[in-house]
Amino acid sequence: MKKRYIITAIIVVLILGLLFWFRFLGLEKPTHPAPVQPIAEKSFVDKTLDNMSLRDKVASLFILHTPGTDKTKLAQFVNKYKPGGIILMGDNIPATTTQLADMTKALTGDKKLPILIATDEEGDTVRRLDSDNFYGALELRNLPARSTKDAFTNRSLLLKSVGINLNFGIVADVTDNPSSFIYPRVLGTNPTEASARVAAAVDGTKGITLSTIKHFPGHGETEANSHLTIPVATTTYGDWLERVSPPFEAGIKAGADVVMFGQLTYSSVDPLPATLSKKWHDILTNNLGFKGIMITDDMVMLQNSGDPNYSDTVENSVEAINAGNNLILFVTDHDDAKSMINPDNLIDGVVNAVKDGQIKQTLIDASARKVLNLRFNLPG
């Protein structure tokens, strides 16, 4: 009997030993490989970007202008150059809003990825649509901020009704100097009042049109007209922070989609015009926290300043892209004959700059992606 117990005990010990050994070797139960994670499907924007040539990507960084109201000719212009957007000036506005809506419809192109159709619709002294009878800066600066929101909501609804999706219409400059070129267009004559109304204007456009605040870093510190020269402000960075930047900060906090850079210089910060200044673009993104689209003011203004340093439109475009602009604005056919610019030359010039290493391909790709995202996610 005792012998049987001994044998049984040995068998039990052997079984437990084997179980322990199997567990140690990981053989206690069959193992299964970790499930393979499916590869995330590329977004529409990324797929679109993958299928774009370098030239198409570069072209998508331009907002261009061509005169007239013939929708067929305008559509041919868009189809030929493939810009990211087109700006409608006074010469593009037909007699009725119905005709304008019909014209912009012909320019939309791919409904999933429409182009940007922009204009300058501030009200008062700067407006393209005669039917815009809403208050502008001259009235709004003397009214509560709520009135500014209402005016820009109505203005955006008007623009949307005629097919315009991007308004370069919110002036974030501030000055109390009646001699300043920009004075009739500012929403406030001190930083506090301007900030409240700029934020209200941005808020009023939400969900209707894309909003733009301008002319960063601020046109109010100079009396000069940037359409005729490159104004120079001697304001220190500390003073700029105190009395110039607040309306821009308020507009950014309110959710502005686009910031337009002015063709002007703050000599104590950078001798270059702000449009071409990486310092000012870094200040906007790093210090003010803006993550949206950065666009130049009309680049022809640099050429028309008469400064020989800015006579080459391709070189200006290359510098503007390297500075950080995602979109380059060119009204390519001003009345002045010297300002007649061939879009092919602009686009090809920037393409060659990428191939020559003057612009990094990754910079073009990043801006093209941001612009595509903007177009893909238009309001409404």
- Digit-coded pLDDT (tens) for 129-157: 999 999 999 999 999 999 999 999 999 99
Residue 339: which pLDDT band, with cuts at 50, 70 and 90?
Answer: low
Could you tell me how far CA 267 lies from the centroid of its own chain? 25
Q: How many CB atoms lie within 10 A of CB 254?
A: 21
Residue 98 clears pLDDT 50, i.e. is over it: yes
pLDDT of residue 12: 47
116: part of which helix (H) or strand (E)?
strand 116-119
Residue 341: which pLDDT band, with cuts at 50, 70 and 90?
Answer: confident
293-296 sheet: strands from edge to edge: 293-296, 258-261, 210-216, 166-171, 116-119, 85-87, 62-64, 328-330
pLDDT of residue 199: 98
Residue 79 clears pLDDT 70, i.e. is over it: yes
Task: Please state, in angstroms and rounded to a whole number, the distance separating the CA atoms of residues 243 and 233.
Answer: 13
Q: Is 31 exposed, middle or buried (0-12, 13-18, 19+ CB in 10 A)?
A: exposed
Task: Please state, in angstroms and rounded to a whole number, the distance separating the CA atoms of residues 214 and 163.
Answer: 22
Residue 42: which pLDDT band, with cuts at 50, 70 and 90?
Answer: confident
Task: Please state, in angstroms and rounded to a whole number, the distance separating the CA atoms of residues 363 and 285.
Answer: 15
Percent of the chain at pLDDT exceeding 90: 84
- The residue behind tokens 């210090």 is 287
Residue 111: which pLDDT band, with cuts at 50, 70 and 90?
Answer: confident
Instruction: List, for residues 187-229, the tens digit of each pLDDT value.
Output: 999 999 999 999 999 999 999 999 999 999 999 999 999 999 9
Query: For residue 47, what are the CA distances in angstroms to 42, 43, 51, 373?
Result: 6, 6, 6, 12
pLDDT of residue 380: 79
Q: Span 86-103, mean pLDDT? A: 96
Q: Per-residue b/e over 90-116, b at no fewer than 16 CB within 10 Å? A: eebbbeebeebeebbebbeeeeeebbb
Instruction: List, for residues 295-328, the tens digit of each pLDDT value.
Output: 999 999 999 999 999 999 999 999 999 999 999 9
Residue 29 clears pLDDT 50, i.e. is over it: no
Q: Span 95-119, mean pLDDT? A: 94
Residue 31: which pLDDT band, with cuts at 50, 70 and 90?
Answer: very low
Q: Is the dihedral of CA 212, 217, 222, 225 positive or negative?
A: negative
Contact 69, 75 (CB under 8 A): no
Alpha-helical (H) ranges within 274-358 are: 278-282, 300-304, 313-323, 343-355
Query: For residue 306, what are the CA distances in angstroms to 98, 177, 225, 228, 271?
Result: 40, 26, 13, 8, 17
**CB contact set of 263 (below 8 Å; sequence gap of 6+):** 215, 226, 230, 273, 274, 275, 296, 297, 298, 301, 302, 305
Which value, to the nearest 10 degrees, does the dihedral of the CA atoms of residues 5, 10, 11, 16 take?
A: 130
Q: What are phi and psi of 78, to 5 degrees?
A: -65, -45
pLDDT of residue 110: 80
265: part of which helix (H) or strand (E)?
strand 265-266
**Mean pLDDT of all residues belonging to the chain:** 91
Bond before 215 cis per omega within 30 degrees: yes
Tokens of 256: 């502005």
Instruction: List, for residues 244-265, the tens digit of each pLDDT value.
Output: 999 999 999 999 999 999 999 9
Q: Span 342-356, mean pLDDT? A: 96
Report the chain's terminal Cα–Cα distance, integer Å: 91
Which value, to the nearest 10 degrees, does the dihedral of the CA atoms of residues 259, 124, 228, 192 take?
A: -50
